[in-house]
Structure formats: C-alpha cells, structure tokens
Structure 1
Amino acid sequence: MPSPPLKPRGPLPPRVYWTRRLVLLAMALVLVIGVAKLLGSSSDASDPSSEEKAVTAGASTTSPATQTAAPRVKKKRKKQTPTEPPLAEPTGPCANSDIVATPVVAEAYGDTDVAITLNLRALETPACTWTVSAETLTVSITSGDDFIWGSRHCPTSIPVQDVVVRQAVDAPVQVVWPGARRSDEDCSTNTDWALPGFYHVEAAALGGEPTDVQFELVVRPSEVITKTVTPKPRPQSKKSARDTTPAPGESDTAHTPGEQGGGNSEG
C-alpha cells in the first residue's frame, strides 16, 4: 500500500522535513500579504500629477470675478539722453565763396546803436577757419532804392577776428550800426538819423551770395516817471483860551467917560 503524499521521505527524520515545509509556507504567506498591502497602498495614494491636473482644471473653471491676478511690477526704464555728435574740427582756412552770412536784428531803436548779428555757416566744408574783417565781409542797410548805411563807409564797425565756421551750426558775429545814422565816405557822426520805418540789411562774404533780411526801426518808448506823493498830516487848530475877566489895571479897549468897562474884544 502506497504511503500518504504528505509523509516525508528521506534519510532525515520527518521532523526536519516538516519544519522546512512550514518555513516555505510562512515565506509564501508573508510574500502574499506584502503584495496585497503594496497594491492597496498604490490604489489609495494620490498621484501628484493628477492633483496638479485637478488644481489646474479647478482654476480654469473659476469665474473671472473670483480670480485674483498678481500685480505686475513695472520696471522703470532710465531715459537715455540723446548725445549730440561731436562738432567737426577745422581742417584749414575757409574759402570766401563757401561762407553764407545771415543777418538777424533783435531790436532797433532810432538815434541809438543797432546791433546786427551775422550767423556764419559753411556751404560745403564741415569746418574751417575764416578771418572776419571789412575786407572779407560787407554789410549794408537800405530802404527801397535809398542807401542808408554801409560797412564800406565804416569799416571799423566789423571787428577783425578769426572764427571757426562749420556747416552744421551757426558761428555768430556781431556788427554795429552806429547811432542808426546815415553813412558817408568819411563815416561822419553828424549825418542825419534814419527815420522810423522798415529797412533791409544785406550781408555777404567776399565772392559769396548775399542774404537780405527786413527789420523795423522804431522809436524808443519814453520812460514814464511816476512820483508818489505822501500826504502830510494837517495841523490841528488850537483855540487860545483867554480869561474873560481882565486883570486889574488892564483893559483891551478905551473907555469913554461915563462908560463902564464890562468886556474885552480880540484884536
């Protein structure tokens, strides 16, 4: 008769084989329990990615009225100041024909010196040096066909000076019309004054194109002197009180015989 399948066979005592079987069963049981716990924890735990998706979905479905946007901080940008290009340096003397002189008269009053500003510029040369004098520059003032004054008659009105003339900016030079008078060949100081009205001043470099500008000669406004009068306090009238009863032996009037002295009169 065959032996039962659970009866151990072998040279060792049956107790050893039963122990081994119990150890294997215990290990298998522990393994099953561990796998079961692992599967259960994985199903209950939350997936971080799913949570993020849920938060994103909830934020997208939130009403615009309930959303609170973080304020944006505007960065202040520093204003850059535009830098002007450097002025050209003179490379040599200017040609007279390359100079343009534009006169400007800010104000002109009769019988006084009139300042005329000549703004010099070069037509083609970026920068050059030019000698200003009555030999290289002419200025004249006219009224219609009437010649009033000219620097050829009064050459000292144009001071001699070396000026750097540029193509990009003006080089101002001042000329004086002495006394707003007419000029003669001797540049006399006893000529007639120019009357108030409109005149033309024309300036040109030697060999250059002339420039004509109109201005008005006006009468200088008279100065109004105002004097503040401070009223003086009026003297208070004082009435002199005199005694109505004459002193003994005094009388202001002569009494005729038979009259009694009863009062006095003021002289």
Structure 2
Amino acid sequence: MSKTKRRTYDDSYFNYGFTCMIKSGIKVPQCVLCMKVLANDSMKPHKLKQHLRTKHAEHMDKSKPFFEAKERELKRAKLDSTGSFHIQAQAITEASYALSYRIARDEKPHTIGETLVKPCLLECTQIILGDTAAQKIADLSLSESTVKSRIDDMTADIKRQVIEKIKSSPMFAIRLDESTDVASILQLMVFACYVHRETIEEEFLLCSPLTETTTAADVMNMVSDFFSKEHLDWGKLIGVCSHAWLSY
C-alpha cells in the first residue's frame, strides 16, 4: 500500500507570510497574519501566494523580514496568556457561547447557527469591516454539535451554581410539579426555594422522567437519589410542596 506523499516546509514560504507548525504529526503551513492553518497539500508556493493575495492584499509588497517579525509575535502570543492570539481565541469561544445561548433561549433548532447565523455574520462583516475581520468570524464554530455542547455546558454550569447556593443557604424548600413532554412521557420537575444574600430565590433544580408509575415512592426515590448525588443536606430541608397528581 503506497504512503500518502507529505509536503515539506521551505524557508522561502516566509515570502508569502507562512510559517510551519506540526498538527497531528504532520507539517502544515500557518499564516502569520491571520493564524489560519492550511492543509499539508497547500504547501505549494502558488497556493500560499494566493492566500496572501486574496486575504491580505495590503501586505503583498512586504519582505521576508516583515513576516519573520510577525512569526515572532505569533509565537509570543501563543506562549503569553495575555497575548493577542489567546485573547482572540477566547473571544471566539465566548461569542460561540453567546450565540448558542440565544439559540436555546429562542427555542431555535441547533442547525440554525451553521446554516443561517454564521453565513449572515460572515457576509455582513466582510461588507462592513473587510476580509481580515471576516476571517476571524470564519473561525467561529456554530455547528450543530458545537451548539449542543455549548448549551450542555451552560446548563451544567447553571445547575452547579444553584446547588452551591442551596448548600450555602441555612435552609431550603422544594416544590414538586409535573409536565408531559412531546413523547407523552411524564416528567418530574423539582424547584428549590432558598436564601441567597438575604434574599429568597426560587430556581429550577431537577427534571427527570417518570417512565413507569407516579407513586410517592417513585418520586421520593428520584429526589433522594438526586440529593445523594449532589450531596444536599436533608437537615436543611424545611418544606415540601407537591400537587395532587402524585399517587399515594
């Protein structure tokens, strides 16, 4: 079986604004201006020059020392957590979370991020701010799996904050409710009321399906398992409110 031919980096590629980095054990070209990483098969002068001409036309007349200086800045930025590379990556991630939050809040399908939101952002940014700014938007990940992952992360973080507030509260109470989802499965919902900074707050705590029966024993076991898993103190629980739908 023949091996895939891997292209090697040449120092002359600095003339087109490209340095070299190792990705998954393979040498790949990286632009020192926008940090974009190309595939190994793009390690050809005409392809690198095309990137420089289409993405950074204003730097077409720059010499090799200019790009070498940009490479040094890039390396410092990667090593320094306060560098521009780190800040840009952090901003892109933050933007991804912000947009995922809006998608979840407005109950839109997760695919809308990649099929509508990002293309609109790219087009508007390119028109208003130009190609360099649009390139930063291009690095923004809004795929369906990314949006779902961001929403899961935010959900877990909110849950963690609520549980920490309950643990720090001198006392708390819970309210049990129910709702039937689109699959006609009964969902047990638990709301917690607690004291935080001398103010009484109520937050959503738990939602779990009651797939078989809805007896008090089933509900108690589900709540007890949650308390045990999250290490909530039963001694601080001062009240439980439930609806008549629970079977005893």
Pairwise same-fold verdict (TM > 0.5): no
Give the TM-score range, shorter chain: under 0.3
Q: TM-score, normalised by structure 2?
A: 0.21
Highest RCO, 1 vs 2 (Cα 8 Å, sep ≥ 6):
1
Q: TM-score, normalised by structure 1?
A: 0.19
Write 1 or 2 for the structure with the bigger share of helix. Answer: 2
Q: Who wins on radius of gyration, i.e. which is larger?
A: 1
